[in-house]
Amino acid sequence: MKYNNEINKRKTFAIISHPDAGKTTLTEKFLLFGGAIQTAGAVKSNKIKKHATSDFMEIERQRGISVATSVMSFEYKGMLINLLDTPGHKDFAEDTYRTLTAVDSVILVVDSVNGVEAQTRRLMEVCRMRDTPVIVFINKMNRDGKNRFDLLEEIEKELNIALHPMTWPINSGKDFKGVYNLYDKNLVLFTANTKAADEDTISFDRLDVPALDEKLGEKDAATLREDIELVDGVHGELNVEDYLAGKVAPVFFGSAINNFGVREMLDTFIRIAPTPRSRETSTRHLDVEEDKFSGFIFKIHANLDPKHRDRIAFLRVCSGKFERNKYFHHVRLDKEVRFSNPYTFLARDKDVIDEAFPGDVVGLFDTGNFKIGDTLTEGEDFYFTGIPSFSPEIFKEVVNKDPMKTKQLEKGLLQLTDEGVAQLFTQYGGNKKIIGCVCELQFEVIQYRLLHEYWASVQFNALPFYKACWITSKDPKKLDEFTRFKHANIAEDKDGYLVYLAQSEWFLNTERTNNPDIEFHFTSEIHK
In a domain, 474, yes or no: yes
Q: What is the dihedral of CA 396, 400, 401, 402, to 10 degrees?
A: 160
The answer to whether 333 touches 388, Cβ cutoff 8 Å, is no
Q: Classify residue 384: in a domain, yes or no.
A: no
218/89 same-domain check: yes
User: What is the reported pLDDT for 386?
Assistant: 74
Q: Which helix (H) or strand (E) holds 449?
A: helix 441-454
Distance CA 62, CA 448 (A): 11
User: 370 and 413: one domain?
Assistant: no
How far is 159 from 203, CA to CA, in rounded Å? 33
Residues 256 and 321 in one domain: no
Residue 387 lies in a domain: no
Q: Which residues pair with 343 in a beta bridge?
A: 352, 363
pLDDT confidence of 296, banded at 50, 70, 90?
A: very high
Q: What angle do CA 380, 357, 3 make, to 5 degrees?
A: 90
Tens-digit pLDDT profile for residues 469-518 = 899 999 999 999 999 999 999 999 888 889 999 999 999 999 999 999 99
Q: How many CB atoms lie within 10 A of CB 18?
A: 24
Q: What is the pLDDT of residues 415-467, one digit of tens each?
A: 777 777 788 999 988 889 999 887 677 788 788 888 888 899 999 999 999 88
Write out the DSSP string of 212-267: HHHHH-HHHHHHHHHHHHHHHHHH-S--HHHHHTTSEEEEEE-BGGGTBSHHHHHH
Instruction: Express each pLDDT in 40-82 by its tens digit.
Output: 443 332 222 334 444 444 544 554 433 344 678 888 998 999 8
Residue 84 sits in the same domain as residue 109: yes
Distance CA 76, CA 81 (A): 7
Are residues 167 and 239 located together in one domain of the fold?
yes
For 390-431, the DSSP string reads PPP-EEEEEEES-GGGHHHHHHHHHHHHHTTSSEEEEETTS-
Residues 72 and 106 in one domain: yes
Average pLDDT over residues 270-295: 94
What does 304-345 look like in DSSP terms, one character per residue?
SSTTTT-EEEEEEEEES-EETT--EEETTTTEEE--SS-EEE
427 and 372 share a domain? no
* 218/239 same-domain check: yes
Give the mean pLDDT of 307-317.
76
Domain's final residue, options 226, 253, 272: 272
The helix/strand/coil state of 154 is: helix
pLDDT tens for each residue of 83-106: 887 764 454 456 677 788 889 999
Q: Which domain holds residue 323?
A: 279-377
Number of domains in the chain: 3
Q: Per the domain annotation, does 193 fall within a domain?
A: yes
**Is position 202 within any domain?**
yes
Higher pLDDT, 526 or 466: 466
Does one domain contain both 30 and 137?
Answer: yes
Whole-number pLDDT of residue 91: 46
Summarize pLDDT for 349-408 with one digit per residue, the tens. Answer: 567 889 999 999 998 888 778 888 899 999 999 998 877 666 677 899 999 999 899 999
Share of the chain above pLDDT 70, in %: 84
CB 91 within 8 A of CB 442: yes
pLDDT band of 24, cuts 50, 70, 90: confident
Residue 58 lies in a domain: yes
Q: Which CATH number characterizes residue 437's domain?
A: 3.30.70.3280
| pLDDT given for residue 309 in this prediction | 55
Rounded Cα–Cα distance for residues 338 and 314 (Å): 15
Assess whether 290 and 229 both reside in one domain. no
Mean pLDDT score across all residues of the chain: 83
Task: Say which CATH number the domain at 245 has.
Answer: 3.40.50.300
In a domain, 389, yes or no: no
Domain end residue (candidates: 237, 272, 307): 272
Are residues 265 and 332 part of one domain? no
Burial class (CB in 10 A: 0-12, 13-18, 19+), 328: buried
**128 found inside a domain:** yes
Do 201 and 228 share a domain, yes or no?
Answer: yes
239, 272, 305: which is the final residue of a domain? 272
CB 342 within 8 A of CB 324: yes
pLDDT in tens, 318-332: 999 999 999 999 999
